[in-house]
Structure 1
Amino acid sequence: MTQQTNWVPTSVDFEKPSAARLYDYLLGGNHNFAVDRAFAEKLMKMQPEAKRVAVNNRAFMRRAVLFMMEQGIRQFLDLGSGIPTVGNVHEIAQEADPDARVVYVDIENVAVAHSQLLLEGSDNAAMVHADVAKPGLVLNDAQTRRLLDFDQPVGLLAVTIGHYILDEQDPFGVFDTYRDALAPGSFLAITHFTNDFDIFDGDKLSNEMKQSQNNIRARSREEVLRLFGDFELVEPGLVTTSQWRPERPTDDEDTIVEQDGLYAGVGRKP
């Protein structure tokens, strides 16, 4: 088997698009299939800002990781990490400190296979194949325990994953469990799809996503804030992705921040 096909597990469902592969396509990646590309094009006709949402979300993740590094965080748990493209968490963190440790978690088979290939030979980063909605499995996985010391602060990344945890899966309980496992001084970064903005039709997108492997649940600002629990939001609080500590001031009067489509924030455990 060649390197080109190693990332395509035999268990892949070629009939339905997946969220991880859609995101990969929107970011310009190559680990997606015709069904994903067709579905992405359909979504972009319905919501022309879809690619902007993906790009701004990825940029937020980078800034959040670098912020956590500045606060002394050297270990990360990345929930719903997706298919690795340029600028993965371990690349960002280990460029600043080669000893930084990262555990990725995803359930999508292509994301897992490609991540495992990418991380072959890496002592400080690993991929866990698990459902993030089952935190007990994630937190007690052998790879998680090998790399992460939960007696020390951890950077928990829940970037575009909360809206895939449906109400019947108890998203607030899931986030409670992850937060409870972290030591004081830990950080939690969240981005979450919302239908608070008129520019997005969350219900329509949710209906479209039912055709994929991943249903989606848009949530309000108050619901997203609940996911942070008692963590203290750092400045500028809960905003949209492009507005969270941008590297350059946004002085374009035509900028419509609601086009980001996602709430974004970082909280610290007291």
Structure 2
Amino acid sequence: MVDAQRLLSREMDIDRPCAARIYDAFLGGGHNFGVEREFAERLQSAMPGVAGVFRDNRAFLRRTVEHLLARGVRQFLELGSGIPTIGHVHEVAARRTRRFSVLYVDNEPLTVAHSRPLLDAEPRAAIIHADIREPDAILGSRDVANLIDFSEPVALVMSAVLHFVPDDDDPMRLVRAYQDAVVPGSALVLSHLCASEEPEPMNLLAAFYEETADPVVARPAEWITECFGAFARQPPGTCYIGDWRPEPDQPPHRHPRYRILHGGLARKP
């Protein structure tokens, strides 16, 4: 059973900026409020070009989903999805195939409320209101069973979410719980704020997020690599997300201003 108190705690704290709507604001979406837009403006002023971090993460998500679709994976479970708009998983999948299913999971009630109308016309995708820190409740829920067949390969998508899980909740344990639930041929897509490559901008970003309902915990690159566990990381391995299989026409001299999101994609042997 989902922990109602954990979900209620989000409902009681909706006056501060929310990570999902901050992300939407930086992507140019329309599912955010003035408090998120004001936060995004201040962060952009303090860190010129920081919007590129959010855009690069969405581009990384698209490339990994396309990679998996090309290799026959048709089921996606996105944990901590935010608002599924501006090129999210189901939109990428729908451009490539008619046969797919996507289940989004988020613990922020307004995020879920904004998301459901976006998915009404797409029977192959849905969102549920749940906390990713409760893997047993999520994996055993009827909503998941309606869309995801765990006897077939599943892509676990943890895109820029684990850095919102505090150390006390043991995020590595959560990753392992979801990994254990999927069959060989499944995959893990993961991106995470990295503490080791550019500490100054990372510390500034973390200081800003202390004002929000979703403070962040950046972790070392080695920790991010360890998240993949026994899953086989696909080349080029764990890296800055903009360097993960960039588009062929991407200029070779392109250098993002902040290389603070690392991640990769791995398959279960």
Same fold flag (TM > 0.5): yes
Q: Deviations over 1:178-201 (max 9, x none)?
A: 100010010111111112223643
Report how many aligned residue pairs link the two structures: 259
Partner Cα distance (2:97, 2:231) in 1: 26
The equivalent residue for 2:42 is 42
Structure 1 SS opposite 2:94 = helix
Amino acid aligned to 2:129: H
Deviation at 1:94, TM superposition (A): 2.3
Partner Cα distance (1:72, 1:214) in 2: 35
Q: How do 1:225-264 residues align onto structure 2 when only pairs under 5 Å count?
A: 225-248=225-248, 250-253=250-253, 255-257=254-256, 259-264=258-263
Judge which range, 35-44 or 60-69, deviates more. Answer: 35-44
Partner Cα distance (2:69, 2:224) in 1: 24
Structure 1, gaps ≥5 residues long: 1-10
Q: Deviations over 1:189-224 (max 9, x none)?
A: 111111222364333322321211101100111110
Structure 1 SS opposite 2:258 = helix
Does the 8 Å CA contact 2:83/2:111 hold for their aligned counterparts?
yes
Matched, 1:153 2:160: no
Does the 8 Å CA contact 1:61/1:159 hold for their aligned counterparts?
yes
Deviation at 1:242, TM superposition (A): 1.3
Matched, 1:214 2:214: yes
The equivalent residue for 2:5 is none
Deviation at 1:48, TM superposition (A): 1.9
Amino acid aligned to 2:242: S
Structure 2, gaps ≥5 residues long: 1-10
Structure 2 SS opposite 1:62 = helix
Partner Cα distance (2:200, 2:104) in 1: 30
Does the 8 Å CA contact 2:112/2:129 hold for their aligned counterparts?
yes
Q: Deviations over 1:71-99 (max 9, x none)?
A: 11011001111112221211211222212
Q: Deviations over 1:139-187 (max 9, x none)?
A: 1121111111111110111110111111011101000101000100101
Deviation at 1:23, TM superposition (A): 0.3
Partner Cα distance (2:180, 2:14) in 1: 38
Partner Cα distance (1:200, 1:137) in 2: 38
Q: How do 1:90-239 residues align onto structure 2 when only pairs under 5 Å count?
A: 90-198=90-198, 200-239=200-239
Matched, 1:83 2:49: no
Partner Cα distance (2:54, 2:92) in 1: 18
The equivalent residue for 1:4 is none
Identical-residue share of aligned pairs (%): 38
Deviation at 1:55, TM superposition (A): 0.6
The equivalent residue for 1:72 is 72
Partner Cα distance (1:197, 1:79) in 2: 26
Deviation at 1:251, TM superposition (A): 4.2
RMSD: 1.7
Structure 1 SS opposite 2:41 = helix
Q: TM-score, normalised by structure 2?
A: 0.91
